[in-house]
Amino acid sequence: MKPTVAPFPAARLRRTRQSASLRGLVRETALSVEDLIWPIFVRTGNGIEEPVPSMPGVLRRSVDKVVVAAREAADLGIPAICLFPYTGLEERTEDCAGAWDPDNHTNRAIRAIKAEVPEIAIMTDVALDTYNINGHDGFVVDGEIVNDPTVEALVKMALAQAEAGADIIGPSDMMDGRIGAIRAALEHAGHQNVMILSYAAKYASAFYGPFRDAVGASAALSGDKKTYQMDPANSDEALRLIERDLNEGADMVMVKPGLPYLDICRRIKDSFGAPTFAYQVSGEYAMIRAAQENGWIDGERVMMESLMAFKRAGCNGVLTYFAPDAARLLST
């Protein structure tokens, strides 16, 4: 008896992979410089660019140097930057008053950038951790992170940033009700056009470690953030948070961290169709850089592949410390 030979498949999916041009023709997603938001650390002083040890290639910059960085970003075509203040222990207090000081270094940086680089959008961080003596995103009373008094403080912080000229307010604190409260206060104060990008699905993640070094919170932080940031095991809860924040007036929403949570990005995009961003956080950045520095991976290719993954998962854009490096590669 002759053996039966299986017929060759009619669907040969390799056909469209034969050449670079054919691969380009069928490519489903594209990464563009317009998808990038660059987080920048601001510190006091003048003429200072100081490396963050756990984030190779990332600097803390004094306001004058932040302006230079904003100019570079704009020239590269990066549409937005996001400012985070570095504060030493001596700048931190229990009442967190520095957070809504109109002259704190974030607000001074906003004014300076608006004067010199008006075309770039400025996003801010709204949370108390960078001014809090104990490193938490909210006030701590008898060991508890209290919600409603914190929201009042966050409103003051957001208003000071809007007054300074911020375009996008980024509440990263995970208190309940802060989006509605900030939105109402912005409207009332005549800042109808200031946007809110809510850190809506923010997980209690170990991937934030290097960031806490970068902003000076590691030494300050007591305990963990599990009573306000999300449990990494949850996904339905992320949808509920996004829906709530959109209803309270968020213009855009964010998932954070990024790569380990791409399933969340996809569910959110499919469910709401709202402008959706992911934050490729400090630990994700540090892992790629560390492997690159050891010669274990091709860092450039891993960087671009990881950024593309966010687009494939449905994100409109990504906050990433790689933004200038990626922008340079995208422009060549």
Q: How many CA atoms lie within 13 A of 97 on its CB side?
A: 3
Q: Which is nearer to ligand PBG, 125 or 245 (CB)?
A: 125
Distance between CA atoms of residues 66 and 308, nearest Å? 27
Q: How far is CA 170 from CA 167, 182, 254, in A?
A: 10, 10, 9
- Rule CB under 6 A: is residue 208 a binding residue for ligand PBG? yes
In this chain, which of 113, 124, 125, 200 binds ligand PBG, going by CB under 6 A? 125
Nearest CA among 234, 233, 175 for reference residue 199: 175
Active site residue 202: yes
Q: Which is nearer to ligand PBG, 137 or 167 (CB)?
A: 137
Burial of 111 (0-12, 13-18, 19+ CB in 10 A): middle
Q: Which is nearer to ligand PBG, 127 or 159 (CB)?
A: 127
User: Using CB under 6 A, which of the segments 7-15, 111-119, 206-214, 270-278 binds ligand PBG?
Assistant: 206-214
Distance between CA atoms of residues 119 and 73, nearest Å? 10
Phi, psi of 129 (to 5 degrees): -60, -30
Amino acid 182 reads I
Distance between CA atoms of residues 326 and 59, nearest Å? 17
Beta-sheet pairing, 276-280 with 168-171: unpaired
- Rule CB under 6 A: is residue 54 a binding residue for ligand PBG? no
Q: Are 215 and 125 in contact (CB under 8 A)?
A: no
User: Using CB under 6 A, which of the segments 146-154, 190-198, 205-213, 232-240 binds ligand PBG?
Assistant: 205-213
Residues 132-191, interacting with ligand PBG (CB under 6 A): 137, 172
Residues 76-115, interacting with ligand PBG (CB under 6 A): none
In this chain, which of 282, 292, 306, 320 binds ligand PBG, going by CB under 6 A? 282
3-state helix, strand, coil in the chain (%, to 5): 45, 20, 40
In this chain, which of 78, 85, 129, 140 binds ligand PBG, going by CB under 6 A? 129
Q: What is the chain's Cα-based Rg? A: 21
Which is catalytic among the residues 65, 225, 256, 311?
256
Q: Which is nearer to ligand PBG, 120 or 154 (CB)?
A: 154
Q: Which is nearer to ligand PBG, 129 or 167 (CB)?
A: 129
Q: How many CA atoms lie within 13 A of 52 on its CB side?
A: 28
User: Using CB under 6 A, which of the segments 143-151, 175-183, 207-215, 323-331 binds ligand PBG?
Assistant: 207-215
Shortest CB 225 distance to ligand PBG, Å? 6
- Catalytically annotated residues: 202, 256
What residues line the site for ligand PBG (CB under 6 A)? Answer: 125, 127, 129, 137, 172, 208, 211-212, 225, 281-282
